[in-house]
Structure 1
Amino acid sequence: MTIKDLDFIFDHLEKLTHIKCTEQEKKDVADHFKPHKLKKNDFFLKEGEQPSRLAFTVSGLLRSYYINKLGDDFTKKFYFEGSIVGYSALIVNQKASYYIEALENCTLLSTTYSSFQKMSQHNPTWINIIKELQDQTIIYKENRESSFLLEDATQRYIHLTQTHPDIEQRIKQKYIASYLGISAVSLSRIRNKLRTLHM
């Protein structure tokens, strides 16, 4: 693990949780987290597997998705740089019902859940970080649920592109449409409509 990668993790965690780690706590992370490379289209997790690892995304982009009995896939979440991958799957402690796939070549910093727990048990700061991460997971789910209940597809699309301005350069339209809960054709219409309005 490089110093740059380590600093990236702690900068992101501090922004996310507002908790600052000591140098010793940073050393504990360096001892437990190891580099994990994924090539485009590689899987971090597959449906039916028992989750055992979590990771921080240093570079690259991943997508989690479900596949139904008809073979249709539904995007659950995108993992951009700074995202924590696989954490919610570990909390449930069941075999995965979805896939996590790399959409780009990725560099992750990964550890086993058991190693993460051991590190946390001896480190009060990490207990607080875990609580904050759990809170962030709940907030993300609440926001996503409310967006489907209170916003139309155009509003969801606008919010997504505002949050991630480069998303259309990095992610296929069909995956964006799936995440928004609409068809690729509907997304194309929304994009054309917005483009016309801004001309």
Structure 2
Amino acid sequence: MSLEKLYQDLFGLSDEQLIRRLTELGEVRHVKKGHLLYREGEVPSKLTFLLQGLLRGYFLDAGGRDISDCFAFKPGAPATACIALGEPATISIEALTDSQVLELPMGPVLELMEEYPQLYRLYTDFLLEALKCHWEVKAAMYQYTAMERYQWFLRSYPGLCHQVSGKHIASFLGMTQVTLSRLRRAMREAGQLQAAEGES
């Protein structure tokens, strides 16, 4: 798929001049599993969007433990390490699988946002979607039981249970790997696991 088609189909952009200028700036890159796209504390110099594969955002807690913060698995999803563009990254982002990403230089894109209202609206849409996801995760953490949190994860992130390690899923859901294993065993014994995890 051409970059022009990506901007139209994935991001819904229609301004031909804007698409042409973004095409000149954009670069599609393949990254290997384990590659670190952003490191917590660094100021990103580019914007990254997932085209294919799986990415994970994470941070270190006070004890130095790796805590999964988010997953990107849908084509077009922004690999955003900070809310306000140009600020230091609040999380690190790594590729959990060999992935394909679209990269755009931060400075020129910020300039284009001033010039093209359609691009600024797209940025606003990304922020609103990120806020929605944030509150969904927060509600799950504080309002659901451990079992309900895992069931919510299976619904909200279909298929990821087969691609993401138990360690990362457990930290994302605020539980230990032992607890996660117990939940999966309980669901298996109740005959619920296969259907919930989408196994054949």
Query: TM-score normalised to the size of structure 1?
Result: 0.86
Question: Aligned ranges for residues 53-68 of structure 1 at < 5 Å?
Answer: 53-68=46-61
- Distance in 2, matches of 1:165 and 1:124, equals 34
Answering whether residue 74 of structure 2 is matched by residue 81 of structure 1, we say yes
Tell me the equivalent position of 1:17: none
- Partners of 1:48 and 1:95 within 8 A in 2: yes
Name the aligned partner's letter for residue 84 of structure 1: P
- Partners of 1:8 and 1:58 within 8 A in 2: no
Count, aligned residues? 191
Deviations 1:64-118 (A, max 9, x none): 11123533111011111321012x5151744334311111111100112212112
Secondary structure of the structure 2 residue equivalent to 1:100 = strand
TM-fit CA distance, 1:151: 1.2
Structure with more helix by fraction: 1
TM-fit CA distance, 1:50: 1.6
Answering whether residue 164 of structure 2 is matched by residue 171 of structure 1, we say yes
Deviations 1:130-182 (A, max 9, x none): 11112112211121111112112211211221222211221111101111110
Tell me the equivalent position of 2:11: 13
List structure 1 runs of 4+ shifted beyond 6 angstroms.
none
Answering whether residue 97 of structure 2 is matched by residue 104 of structure 1, we say yes
Deviations 1:20-74 (A, max 9, x none): 5234333232122211221111100112312222111001111111123533111
Answering whether residue 157 of structure 2 is matched by residue 186 of structure 1, we say no
Tell me the equivalent position of 1:29: 22
- Partners of 1:61 and 1:78 within 8 A in 2: yes
Distance 1:34 1:71, change over 3 A: same
Secondary structure of the structure 2 residue equivalent to 1:91 = coil
Cα root mean square deviation, aligned? 2.1
Distance 1:53 1:177, change over 3 A: same
Secondary structure of the structure 2 residue equivalent to 1:13 = coil
- Which residue of the other structure, out of 17, 41, 49, is the alignment partner of 2:42? 49
- Distance in 1, matches of 2:8 and 2:65, equals 38
